[in-house]
Amino acid sequence: MTQALSRIDHIPRLSRLGWLMGLYAENYLHLMRLFAPDRLAPGSHVSTIGDGLDLRLDVIECHRYTVELRMTYDIRDPLTGEPDPSAYVRLYRDARQVETTHCYVGRRWQDVMGMYPPADALVGHRLRMNTFLGKWLEYLAERGHGVATLRRVGEEMACS
């Protein structure tokens, strides 16, 4: 006897790595629409919408295929004195992806999980960080942040 397959059996399953790569692509689209960081000059940029909670976007380095960024509010953690929340982001121009490399100053994935974590744990950690970034970008867009609310702090050369 042949057994009928349910509709769920016909849906292809994404691996966790495939899901992560999808998040990278989705975050790229959100970030590019919101701030076009590949066109910003290296240095600090502040987005102000009048709610007293300014977003700081630091363009750390620009390379031919990547842009290194930090996103944070100008709020300091009372224990460490570091900006919190804070996300370090790498934009891959050629691959059209954005990866959150770590989420708190001094808290890289190596600090959280050790130097040689199991691959499954590393993918899970990256999924959480990049899901956080996606939700944060959506929140910023809903609040009204964007290219029009962004101003540069200081005078530097633009990324090329």
Q: What are the backbone angles phi and psi of residue 9, rounded to the nearest 5°?
A: -65, -20
Q: Is the pTM of this model over 0.85?
A: no
User: CB count, 10 Å around CB of 27?
Assistant: 22
CA distance 80 to 158: 32
CB neighbour list of residue 41: distance below 8 Å, 6 or more residues apart:
59, 152, 155, 156, 157, 158, 159
Task: For residue 92, give both structure tokens.
Answer: 């891959």
Nearest-angstrom CA–CA distance, 141 and 135: 10
Find the helix or strand (DSSP H, E) in which 91 lies: strand 86-92
End-to-end CA distance of the chain: give it in Å, rounded.
64
What is the band of 106 on the pLDDT scale with cuts at 50, 70, 90?
very low
Give pLDDT, residue 119: 75
Percent of the chain at pLDDT > 70 equals 80
Q: Is the pLDDT of residue 90 over 80?
A: yes
Sign of CA dihedral 30, 33, 34, 37: positive
Determine the average pLDDT of the residues in 59-80. 89
Element of type H or E holding 150:
strand 150-153
Stretch 40-45: mean pLDDT, rounded? 95
